[in-house]
Amino acid sequence: MGRKLRLHGWMLILLLATGCSSFNKEWKTALKQPMSVEEVAGPWDGRWVSDVNGHEGRLRCVMTKKNDREYDAHFHAKYKKIFSFGYTVPMEVKRVGNSWQFQGEADLGKLAGGLYTYKGAATGTNFFSTYDNKYDHGKFEMSRPEPK
């Protein structure tokens, strides 16, 4: 039993490391692209915080436009500078005046708490979203990173 558990642990570490590597490549590519305050697509950098337990950490996101109403939000979250987790949320996005309103949901799996829903708004420079699931809820606050 111990050997099987260790094998699963190493597989999880490998999976998380691979996910982090692909996100970092996507992040670096997004930073090289021109960032427009007229578009929600591109890189975002900031923090997440849980309203339930006060946990918080760094959060990065790359928003990728699929069509006029659909984007993929590829998030990469850190907790205590040690643990990291990456996932993608399909978002329905609508332009309202000078901002974009969005909502989406993603099942992050049983170990991460299952289904999460997201709702928020972004301007060309600021991104705010709430997240909610049956065990936790909180907020994401991000802004555009400095160009490299």
Residue 112 backbone phi and psi in degrees, to 5? -95, 0
Q: Tell me: pLDDT of 131 over 90.
A: yes
Residue 124 backbone phi and psi in degrees, to 5? -70, -15
- Residue pointed to by tokens 């170990």: 111
Q: Is 132 left (phi over 0), alpha (psi -120 to 50) or beta?
A: beta
CA angle 137, 99, 120 (to 5 degrees): 10
Q: Mean of the pLDDT values across residues 107-118?
A: 91
Q: Mean of the pLDDT values across residues 10-22?
A: 48
**Distance linking the first and last C-alpha atoms of the chain:** 48
The answer to whether the CB of 147 falls within 8 A of the CB of 42 is no
pLDDT band, residue 5 (cuts 50/70/90): very low
Q: Which fold has domain 2-143?
A: Lipocalin (2.40.128)
Domain boundaries, the chain: 2-143
pLDDT digit string, tens, across residues 37-54? 788 999 999 999 999 999
Listing DSSP states for 1-56 in one string gives -HHHHHHHHHHHHHHHHHHHHHHHHHHHHHHHSPP-TT-S-EEEEEEEEETTT--E
pLDDT digit string, tens, across residues 25-41? 989 988 888 877 788 99
